[in-house]
Copies of this chain bind each other. A is one copy, B any other.
Amino acid sequence: MTISGENSSNLIAVAKKTRLAALKLAVLSTDAKNQAIEAIAQALEAAKDEILQANIADCERATTEGIAKPLYKRLQLDEHKLRDAITGVRDVGKLPDPVGEVQVHRELDKGLILKRVTCPLGVLGIIFEARPEAAIQIVTLAIKSGNGIILKGGKEATLSCEAIVKAIKQGLSQTAVNPDVVQLLTTREEILELLKLDKYVDLIIPRGSNSFVRFVQENTRIPVLGHADGICHLYVDKAADIEKAIAITIDAKTNYPAACNAIETLLVHANIAREFLPKVGEMQQLNVELRGDERTREILPNIAAATEKDWETEYSDFILSIKVVDSLEDAIAHINDYGSKHTDAIVTEDAEAAETFLSLVNAAGVYHNCSTRFADGFRYGFGAEVGISTQQMPPRGPVGLEGLVTYKYQMTGNGHIVATYTGAEAKSFTHQDLE
């Protein structure tokens, strides 16, 4: 189930084996894939005790080694979390199959038919930190989308991940899906090796801290789905409804500050600052630490000064930096300078200001009169979230199962050649969309 990883040729062999198995998975019917997903759910239920025991052993070792408390909480897998994860497996089974969707269907000429059809990417490389149940979710999504998957979990969760992957492979062995589609790496050295396998791995999904994701992005030529920073902004316009503005500010900052879609910086139009900022000041009673620029501190003198560094920091904590701006344009310029292209919002009753903001802010999500915390695949109705991407090219923003497939052009003719359509006697294409 695991490999030694002593050298990269081992890992290449593993990747090739995964690829070969994935090639067969790629052409399975939706039913066959869903049966495999149900088999995984059942196998995980059957292996429940073994998995929980393995997790206890991981937790004990981690405690001995003095693991940090938040990491311990993520590592710990109780019966409840496991049951939720298994429910999640069955939920993925119910999602529409992202493979085989015909996106283009066009007659180029009589008998010459072009189709653009979605197909699996091939092999995914997933590197995640402590949380062992992440393996369950991501394996299920990979199989639903017809992809092989090479997993590398956090070293603290090694025994848990081994028990989970063992159960998954056990489940798959009863189905049309070759258990080789799932591979688990267990040594840290293998991460760098994995990142070099651009010939064998089609997409890397890193799940962990900002610095870890940045490390992955900077050390691979394989496309990376994810984001390092989530520096989200809320801009309260001069034409804002104060009540909405304060409710959204509190939600976007305090609902779950560790989330990437929580705001870090509040921008306030000068015309509304005297009325609005005192209400923001009350957030200190919600244990939110406020840091402001000079003009903010004229109104809220008891808060700390924000420095340049604050504008470029994702606190992931109950801290909010505040800046007073003179115009919508200044707010947009600040966001485009310091933002991480994740999600930014405006509160205003001025429809034109809202439109300008939504048009000119360069981010995966641009919101008007609602909390940035809505940036999430489940909330968008995707049924699953593979990750949130802050790159400029698609896929961008919360990415569902469609982020795990690509497409190919399939063309069928009857001996058609290009010479017929070139030169002086060239025949014309019909270019007629079908269906």
Q: Which residues of A contact B (CB under 8 A)?
A: 23, 26-27, 106, 108, 112, 114, 116, 119, 121-122, 202-203, 218, 221, 223, 241, 243-244, 247-248, 250-252, 255, 354, 358-360, 362-371, 373-375, 379-381, 391-394, 396-398, 406-419, 421-422, 429, 431
Contact = CB atoms under 8 A, between A and B. Distances in A.
A156 to B, nearest CB: 28
B369 A416 contact: yes
B251 A419 contact: yes
A227 to B, nearest CB: 14
Contact of A367 (B26, B365, B398, B413): B413
The 4 A-B pairs at the shortest CB distance, nearest first, are namely: A370-B413, A251-B417, A244-B415, A381-B431
Copies of this chain present in the complex amount to 2
B416 A370 contact: yes
Contacts of A379: 108, 418, 421, 429
B370 A412 contact: yes
A385 to B, nearest CB: 13
Nearest to A203: B393
A26 B356 CA distance: 11
B413 A406 contact: no
B411 A202 contact: no
Given A365-B409, A396-B408, 16 more contacts: A112-B370, A244-B414, A244-B415, A248-B417, A251-B417, A255-B419, A362-B408, A367-B410, A367-B411, A370-B415, A371-B418, A374-B411, A379-B418, A393-B406, A394-B394, A396-B407
B414 A394 contact: no
23 contacts: A26-B359, A26-B360, A27-B360, A106-B380, A106-B381, A114-B380, A116-B397, A223-B391, A251-B419, A365-B409, A366-B409, A367-B412, A368-B411, A368-B412, A370-B413, A370-B417, A371-B416, A371-B418, A374-B411, A375-B409, A379-B418, A394-B394, A397-B408
